[in-house]
Amino acid sequence: MKNGGPKPELIALAALAGAEGLVLIGYALYDVVQAIRIGTTGPVEVSNGPALFIQVLIFLVFGVGLLLIALGWLRAQRWSRSPFLLTQIIALLVGFPLAQNSLGLGHALGIGALVFALVGGVLALTPQVGRAISQGDSKSD
């Protein structure tokens, strides 16, 4: 991009996507460590090996995907917007029930997910971001 680098809006979106991606990857690794330490516990849906494997795989795929989206934001790529917005919608759907949780950690994670998703979703739809990714796409043609 001109002026030596990406626009501040795109840097903020890349930071949000990168943080979300790292959290998901970290949670997948946490699940693996917990399974090794204490075995598969929890609800029936995830208290067996194959279900835990699928859960870890999903978190890893989403986490790596968000890291790629962060890279796309830094490169002002238009394609970054749609998967990022879809991820923010999913985060809202997951964060809302977590925020309703009376336990401290679940509640805090839910609030964090809601704040990140709302800020990211609104920022991704601003006219400044639209112009920045349009300029980025025209330079790559």
% residues pLDDT > 70 (the chain) = 89
Render pLDDT for 99-125 as a digit per residue (tens, 0 to 9).
887 777 778 888 999 999 999 999 999
pTM: 0.85
34 Cβ contact list (under 8 Å, min separation 6): 41
Maximum CA extent, the chain: 54
CB-neighbour burial class of residue 51 (10 A; exposed 0-12, middle 13-18, buried 19+): middle
Render pLDDT for 3-33 as a digit per residue (tens, 0 to 9).
567 899 999 999 999 999 999 999 899 888 8
| Amino acid letter for position 125 | L
The structural domains of the chain, with segments of one domain joined by +, span 7-140
